[in-house]
Amino acid sequence: MHEAEEILKYRFNDRRLLQKALTHSSVTNSSSPGNDYERLEFLGDAVLELVTREFLLTEFPDESEGVLTRRKIRIVQKGNLSEHGIRLGFDRLAHVGRSFVNSGGALESMTADIVESLIGAIYIDSGLQSAREFIVREILKQSDDSGPLSDARSELQEYCQAEGLKLPEYSLTGRSGPDHDPVFTITVSIEGEYAGRGTGPTRRAACGKAAEKALKKLERTV
């Protein structure tokens, strides 16, 4: 917990909150909710949304609501949170049980959840300002905002919405390479039908490649 506080640059008044924020449900009894990070994650998700929207309104005063929404989605999506959590080392500090499946996808999902649970824990421990300082410093100012806002995943989602289709579903179908240089394979389906496959060094990158393949396929069939 001391290492976690050093990373967070925040010292807890109630360290039990920090312990919960780092504890995966595989450790606890499922009939006793509240002993793992899930409830804190629920709160942290809302705090992250609020601070991100507040930050974007200040940073981009001339942008439309639609553009701000796309920026917000890019920041709060699980892939981005996971990358920051792994960069900070929260994946190493997580307390997991023997039933936890340490696959690439499970580890990324858990690390993203822990980022949100830590935000929730800080919020409960000392309020919004402390949570805001961590979010701005380690997520908002560290997120890559250099890519095009109209990315392939957004375009594919907008296409499905315009056509009255269910939203695309992405699934991890492969992982290879060493832990320090992994390659993920993601398959995207639309209405239960295969639409495309992509690979990349992160799940987010692989999802983007899969969406690109799906868009090209749709262009040929329209």
Q: Which residue among 105, 140, 175 closes a domain?
A: 140
Concatenate the DSSP letters of all residues of the chain into one string.
Answer: -HHHHHHHT---SSHHHHHHHTB-TTTS-TTSTTSSSHHHHHHHHHHHHHHHHHHHHHH-TTS-HHHHHHHHHHHHSHHHHHHHHHHHTHHHH-B--TT----HHHHHHHHHHHHHHHHHHHHHHH-HHHHHHHHIIIIITTS---S-SS-HHHHHHHHHHHTTPPPPEEEEEEEES-TTS-EEEEEEEETTEEEEEEEESSHHHHHHHHHHHHHHHHHHH-
**Do residue 25 and residue 82 come from a single domain?**
yes
Of 135 and 165, more confident: 135
Q: Supply the residues annotated as catalytic.
A: 45, 116
- The residue among 121, 51, 53, 109 whose CA lies nearest residue 80 is 109
The pLDDT value given to residue 221: 57
Would 146 be classed as within a structural domain?
Answer: no
Would 74 be classed as within a structural domain?
Answer: yes
**Do residue 169 and residue 126 come from a single domain?**
no
Q: Which residue among 140, 171, 187 closes a domain?
A: 140
CATH of residue 134's domain is: 1.10.1520.10
pLDDT tens figures, 192-205: 999 999 998 888 88
Would 41 be classed as within a structural domain?
Answer: yes
**Do residue 19 and residue 125 come from a single domain?**
yes
**Do residue 69 and residue 159 come from a single domain?**
no
**Do residue 45 and residue 134 come from a single domain?**
yes
pTM over 0.75: no
The pLDDT value given to residue 67: 78
pLDDT tens figures, 105-148: 678 889 999 999 999 999 999 999 999 999 999 999 887 654 44
- The residue among 127, 106, 118 whose CA lies nearest residue 23 is 118
Of 44 and 91, more confident: 44
Residue 143 · residue 75 · CB < 8 Å? yes
Q: Which residue among 140, 171, 199 closes a domain?
A: 140
Would 84 be classed as within a structural domain?
Answer: yes
pLDDT tens figures, 14-63: 999 999 999 998 887 655 567 899 999 999 999 999 999 999 999 999 98
**Do residue 203 and residue 119 come from a single domain?**
no
pLDDT tens figures, 63-77: 888 778 778 878 888
Domain that holds residue 101: 2-140
Across residues 159-173, what is the average pLDDT?
A: 86
**Do residue 134 and residue 200 come from a single domain?**
no
**Do residue 43 and residue 103 come from a single domain?**
yes
**Do residue 80 and residue 127 come from a single domain?**
yes
Would 132 be classed as within a structural domain?
Answer: yes
Tokens representing 148? Answer: 């095009």
**Interatomic CA distance for residues 8 and 138, integer angstroms:** 9
Would 188 be classed as within a structural domain?
Answer: yes
* pLDDT exceeds cutoff 60 at 149: no
Would 114 be classed as within a structural domain?
Answer: yes
Would 147 be classed as within a structural domain?
Answer: no
Question: How many domains would you assign to the chain?
Answer: 2
**Do residue 57 and residue 160 come from a single domain?**
no
CATH of residue 193's domain is: 3.30.160.20
**Do residue 132 and residue 78 come from a single domain?**
yes
**Do residue 124 and residue 188 come from a single domain?**
no
The pLDDT value given to residue 146: 46
**N-terminal to C-terminal alpha carbon distance within the chain:** 55
**Interatomic CA distance for residues 108 and 94, integer angstroms:** 12
**Interatomic CA distance for residues 142 and 155, integer angstroms:** 25
